[in-house]
Amino acid sequence: MYRRPFPRPWQYWSQRRINTLAGGLHAQRYLEIGIEHGRTAEKINVRERVGVDPAPRFDTNKLPPGFSFFAVESDTYFASLASEATFDLAFLDGLHTFGQTKNDLFNTLRHVPSGVILIDDTVPEDETAALPDRDEARALRRETGSKENAWMGDVWRLVVYIDQYLPQLDFRTIVGSGNVQTLVWRRTLGETISEPSGNEFEKLNYRETFASGIPDQFRPCAEVDAIQACLTTVQLHR
Ligand SMILES: C[S@@+](CC[C@H](N)C(=O)[O-])C[C@H]1O[C@@H](n2cnc3c(N)ncnc32)[C@H](O)[C@@H]1O
């Protein structure tokens, strides 16, 4: 027997959020970085889906119609992607570190000129889950006898980075209906966004940042409000 009733009413947050966005955008092309078993990707109602994962946990010889899969790291995938390739919607759920997810964000922005990007796990459950190194987080859990198992990495630093360095982007952090994720879109669709130099985000401290819960800087809000804010801008200008 499961400790909690199963399925939980708030579960499947990623597919629910992505499909709501896909409907609002009339999305034709979807990109997911980090596929694992394909549990989200298989449920996305978009005509063309592209998945990227160097360590897939499903039979890559059996793909549904309209689904393309690349068993490589995201940097390699983007390096080989034609410059004119575009997507309406992207889900960044690969390696959960600040550095890698920042790379994924800038690469994705080049190929999502007027769409929407959803970033997974932007508020860690606790300080250990927020460590950038997954093995270190697991070792610490073992040492302290913690019953928790979550690792979300330091993707949270990317939200602070976007807030401080990328005023061209608007975003909302979705709280209260499943995993915390951050929804990102351009204020001016089609605008080129380059990576600013000279920032040292590895020094940001988890305890200070989350001392009073999720800071306003993360623009936390309910799922329905985040999606509405996003679609209002993006639908209006597409
Ligand atoms: C949390 S799982 C993805 C879950 C999936 N998006 C879903 O919703 O069911 C993270 C995945 O990212 C993959 N990954 C790790 N490093 C990666 C990288 N550099 N590029 C792309 N994927 C990566 C891992 O192999 C793992 O399968």
pLDDT in tens, 154-191: 999 999 999 999 999 999 999 999 999 999 999 999 99
- By the 10 Å C-beta count (0-12 exposed, 13-18 middle, 19+ buried), 3 is classed as exposed
Q: What is the pLDDT of residue 4?
A: 57
Residues 6+ apart with CB under 8 A from 37: 57, 58
Return the best residue to mutate from 14, 31, 50, 53 for the ligand 1 pocket (most ligand atoms within 8 A of CB): 53
Q: What is the pLDDT of residue 39?
A: 95
Q: Amino acid letter at 48?
A: E
CA of 230 to the centre of ligand 1 (A): 25
- Is residue 222 scored above 60 in pLDDT? yes
Pocket of ligand 1 (CB under 6 A): 14, 32-37, 39-40, 52-55, 73-74, 93-95, 100
What proportion of the chain, given as a percentage, has pLDDT over 70? 96
**Which residue, by CA, sits nearest to atom 19 of ligand 1?**
73
Sorting pLDDT into bands at 50, 70 and 90, what band is 5? low
Q: What is the pLDDT of residue 6?
A: 52
13-237 fold: Rossmann fold (3.40.50)
Which atom, in ligand 1's list, is nearest to the CA of 39? 9
Q: What is the pLDDT of residue 2?
A: 53
**Which residue, by CA, sits nearest to atom 11 of ligand 1?**
34
| DSSP single-letter state for residue 213 | S
Q: pLDDT tens-digit profile of 27-43? A: 999 999 999 999 999 99
Q: pLDDT tens-digit profile of 53-111? A: 999 999 999 999 999 999 999 999 999 999 999 999 999 999 999 999 999 999 999 99
**To which H or E segment does residue 14 belong?**
helix 13-25
